[in-house]
Amino acid sequence: MKALCLDGRLSLQEVSTPRPTPGSALIRIILAGICGTDRQILKGYSGFRGIPGHEFVGEVVECDAREWVGKRVVGEINISCGSCDWCRRGLSRHCSYRTVMGIIDHQGAFAEFVTLPVRNLHEVPASVPDEAAVFTEPLAAAAEILEQMPVASGTRAAVLGAGRLGLLVAQVLRNVGTQVTVIGRSAGKLEMARSFGLTTARADDAGLRPRSFQLVVEATSSPEGLETALRLVEPRGTVVMKSTFHQPAHFDTAKVVVDEITLLGSRCGNFQTALGLLKDGAIQVEPLISKIFPLEQGVEAFAFLDNPDCLKVLLANRA
Ligand SMILES: [Zn+2]
Ligand SMILES: [Zn+2]
């Protein structure tokens, strides 16, 4: 099969098609999404070598559980052991022995096929098109914030970063009644946020008062975002950290102590929650697609992401 492979640099290669082990499914990829984490992986985050890609929608083509064959699916990216302490406590996304598709020791979705355990799969409702279903993983990650902390209706929230993830987080927060301001740099992305009915501000806007938001979500993919978040959050407020960067971030810990700020790390989320939001049409995702490249042009697709107004880039594996 064809796949994008990372071994110091990214290239399209012909590799052997994976074989499903018992309890796993072979999935033909229909669409795969490139996210900020993939770009960090190319820079060395996680030390991954192999086929990246963890956001996809596909079709099961081979599986010992016959009822799955032919189903359109999305897949959870953490492959857990099922028996360690964390797994037994229902926290399998934190399994000590987990592999992570396209990130840690498991081949990813920038290929014609992937394998995943059947327990990782979720059938996509018929009313959700491929172009929306491919957002299940990042939307689940956006909605994870609501599983980690209570967010009251009317909360003054800021989302730092008007990119792929920021625009999903902002919509998820608005959906539960918070007053959201999306803060970004790119005029095109802020325009997109306004087209969703969201309030926006430019990152350098003098009208942005320090200590004025109860909740600030950092989704800039840059270590400086955390400093800005700490400036904008009010005392006793919460900063949710959504970016994973390869470099360490530097910030003023005294500010966290003195203002009694809660820092909350946030990663993957619940796929059923995300599929429910997509099915209800509660979150707009398809306008975020900037361009769809064929898998064969995956290297060009990554380069296209350097365009500052670019949001989501997808790779299509059309048979
Ligand atoms: Zn991702
Ligand atoms: Zn485990």
Backbone angles phi, psi at 149, to 5 degrees: -150, 150
Give mean pLDDT, residues 230-250.
89
Give the closest ligand to the alpha carbon of residue 46. Answer: 1
Angstrom distance (rounded) from CA 192 to CA 34: 19
Q: Residue 223: which of 45, 53, 101 has the closest Cα?
A: 45
Residue owning tokens 């064809």: 2
Residue owning tokens 């963890």: 54
Listing from the earlier edge strand, what are the strands of the sheet with 105-106? 78-79, 99-101, 105-106
The model's pLDDT over 125-176, given as tens digits with 9 standing for 90+, comes to 999 999 999 999 999 999 999 999 999 999 999 999 999 999 999 999 999 9
> From the CA atom positions of the chain, what is the Rg in Å?
19
Protein residues with C-beta less than 5 angstroms from the ion ligand 2: 80-81, 84, 87, 95
Give the closest ligand to the alpha carbon of residue 109. Answer: 1
Kindly give the distance from the C-alpha atom of residue 55 to the centroid of ligand 1, in angstroms, as a whole number.
6
The model's pLDDT over 3-61, given as tens digits with 9 standing for 90+, comes to 999 998 999 999 999 999 999 999 999 999 999 889 989 988 778 999 999 999 999 99
Beta carbons of 114 and 265 less than 8 angstroms apart: no
Beta carbons of 40 and 13 less than 8 angstroms apart: no
Kindly give the distance from the C-alpha atom of residue 137 to the centroid of ligand 2, in angstroms, as a whole number.
20
Total Cβ atoms within 10 A of residue 127: 10
Kindly give the distance from the C-alpha atom of residue 138 to the centroid of ligand 1, in angstroms, as a whole number.
6
Give the closest ligand to the alpha carbon of residue 83. Answer: 2
**Residues listed for the chain:** 319
Angstrom distance (rounded) from CA 212 to CA 69: 52
pTM of the model: 0.94
Kindly give the distance from the C-alpha atom of residue 263 to the centroid of ligand 2, in angstroms, as a whole number.
26
